[in-house]
Structure 1
């Protein structure tokens, strides 16, 4: 009986000590923003794809202004997908001590090292578009393997499970490009009569994608299909195929819904795209960086997803 009473007393004491913590108003944990915030976006490259990200971010900036939060948004984009250039920009911007940095990883290993340095320097860091590491909040598709797999299956169906295909592989260090190729090859492994006869990186440069496809068509005039792993190379492949008079003969599948790519879907040059929702990436990057500055919690993973786009969608546009 004595031990029972002692247990009750200990429980009461613990409850008394804990009570003030539970009594605290959680609203007191939130820090009001009274000064202008500076947020810096560092994408992988200057590219029209990121224009849509920026549009979403600008919308969020205007939305925050209506609630009294003023934001200066700075975009610092490498002109080409160059790892050293991007890392120099990340490092330089850490020194500016912004209130937030949103980074799209071009090279996980080196980018993550610098992102950790940014956090140590007191900068709020979010990751968007290309996944870096679980240590940072990420906005976008965490893995792009499924997109590549889905496009591989679509191409296999279009070609009846056989034929010669080519891959335009984008940037070899970009995790999303690499993962899409992995998924694509996984899909094709189920179709033994499909053969990959050409695979070259275009470094996410439209002109490179055009010239590579022209080389492909000369080296393999019997090519049946092309997989384009980023937003530039479906357009480049389609331009070259159409200029060669082979639109409709060579099946093309690829990523994203830039306007010219959508036009090629609607005229039948491109068979299918998987479109990401990059506007959401920009919107939520701003929203979450504001939240971090207010001492809110935010999700470590926000999956913005992707969707198929084929000629069936053209009548609705």
Structure 2
């Protein structure tokens, strides 16, 4: 299989998965949309009817498509169409993220509920300040600085959810190192340098290295969560380090696809590789033995529950300022996926659309965020 054919096949698989996912959502969660009734998976549309929006990177990847599909499922639980959720796509630009959000705030007069990944950590503060100034409501995901806290902004900054990526990334690294026989050279492909998950996933790798003195970290560079950039970076690693590379640690599935592409171009199809995100194509690669492991963060639930939290704060179902800190900053769930359990995982989370209660705000969370 050529490089272009490999990536084209993965893209086609992602498109087919998204179609199946959305159709299943329409037949399942969408069928439960009953306005004015509270119950599992349902929420009551409010009289002030705040506009809904998700601000995020792109919808071309399975990860972000799943996040926004969760937000759309929540919108449907209010008896609204999926199109009621406005997509503010920043295309990896923090400037565009802030500009689009300010335009949305102006258009809605602040009568809105927003879920947002600010693209990088420094951008989270101006995003939150803009929302506060408009008396709107926002829940954030993944990226913020350690000194930015929801409780410093009253009710308008509803909550922040991230994932504790250090331990899961360390777990995947240990799986990788065992497959390498406890010795050799490893390279790391990371996300955007200022992204919290990129920082934590690299730290997980470094933590595992402390117990494997015969494994050398040859290089660690960002590939910005991008398949094409990852393919180019892996090609440069191969040129520089050659057969000294005996294992690859990827900070996301999307970058792992690029790594596999670059390796296939050199006739290498047996390199131990681990990744992160639990995308459907990556889970299939784990089942097929092309990846050793990946980590699922349940982006569908995360996308839906952050939309729900912002919405319910906006309509006054609860006051965020009256909640404990562990309900304002919290970790989302993670699941380590290996070849042993990939088929079971796929049946539960990929082949079927889980039925979530969007009023159970903190059910699957993993405790309050801790800072070093």
Q: TM-score, normalised by structure 2?
A: 0.69
- Retained in 1: the 8 A contact 2:163–2:334? no
Match of 2:119 in 1: 106
- Kindly indicate whether residue 207 of structure 2 is the aligned counterpart of residue 207 of structure 1: no
**What CA deviation, in whole Å up to 9, does each residue of 1:106-150 have, x standing for no partner?**
222232133123113201010124455432444643432222222
Match of 1:238 in 2: 260
Point out 4+ residue stretches in structure 1 off by more than 6 angstroms.
none
Gaps in structure 2 of 5+ consecutive residues: 1-43, 151-156, 321-326, 347-372
User: Is the alpha carbon distance of 1:131 and 1:111 closer, same or farther for their aligned partners in structure 2, counting shifts above 3 Å?
Assistant: closer
**Offset, 1:32:** 7.9
Match of 1:82 in 2: 93
Matches within 5 A, 1:151-190: 151-190=172-211
**Offset, 1:93:** 2.8
- Retained in 2: the 8 A contact 1:130–1:174? yes
**Alpha-carbon distance in 1 for matches of 2:45, 2:305:** 19
State the SS of the aligned residue for 2:296: strand
CA RMSD of aligned residues (A): 2.5
Q: Which structure has the larger Rg over C-alpha atoms?
A: 1
**Alpha-carbon distance in 2 for matches of 1:278, 1:104:** 12
- Retained in 2: the 8 A contact 1:238–1:270? no
**Offset, 1:63:** 1.3
State the SS of the aligned residue for 2:242: coil
Match of 2:284 in 1: 263
**Alpha-carbon distance in 1 for matches of 2:236, 2:287:** 25
- Retained in 2: the 8 A contact 1:171–1:203? yes
- Retained in 2: the 8 A contact 1:65–1:71? no
- Retained in 1: the 8 A contact 2:249–2:273? yes
Gaps in structure 1 of 5+ consecutive residues: 1-30
Match of 1:228 in 2: 250
Match of 2:319 in 1: 297
Match of 2:64 in 1: 50
- Range moving further from structure 2, 90-99 or 54-63: 90-99
State the SS of the aligned residue for 1:176: helix
User: Is the alpha carbon distance of 1:71 and 1:232 closer, same or farther for their aligned partners in structure 2, counting shifts above 3 Å?
Assistant: closer
- Retained in 2: the 8 A contact 1:101–1:125? yes
Q: Alignment partner for residue 254 of structure 1, among 275, 282, 288?
A: 275
**Offset, 1:210:** 1.4
- Retained in 2: the 8 A contact 1:36–1:70? no
